[in-house]
Structure 1
């Protein structure tokens, strides 16, 4: 099975939290992963088009 990077990150975060993760937490973890990747590699890990709102992405 060939998973996209987004799918791999979702599986990673769900496994690390042992399945007790909310949609909001997952979204924030994915955003922070992309933010860190941009800081270190100048490109996102995922192909998500983030939209910025007042209280977060």
Structure 2
């Protein structure tokens, strides 16, 4: 590897970007994802696997 510092900075920036993108997705999921998560929560609570 010729330029470790540049590659390291690139990877650090990429990791920071992906973490921020994932956090934003988790805060504001698409409508379909929100429906699936709601359905999953209802299903798990109805069969007693999850207690809220």
User: Shorter-chain TM-score category?
Assistant: 0.3 to 0.5
Could you tell me the TM-score, scaled by structure 2's length? 0.42
Could you tell me the TM-score, scaled by structure 1's length? 0.39
The one of the two structures with greater contact order (alpha-carbon pairs below 8 A, sep at least 6) is 1
Please tell me whether Structure 1 or Structure 2 has the larger radius of gyration of its CA atoms: 2
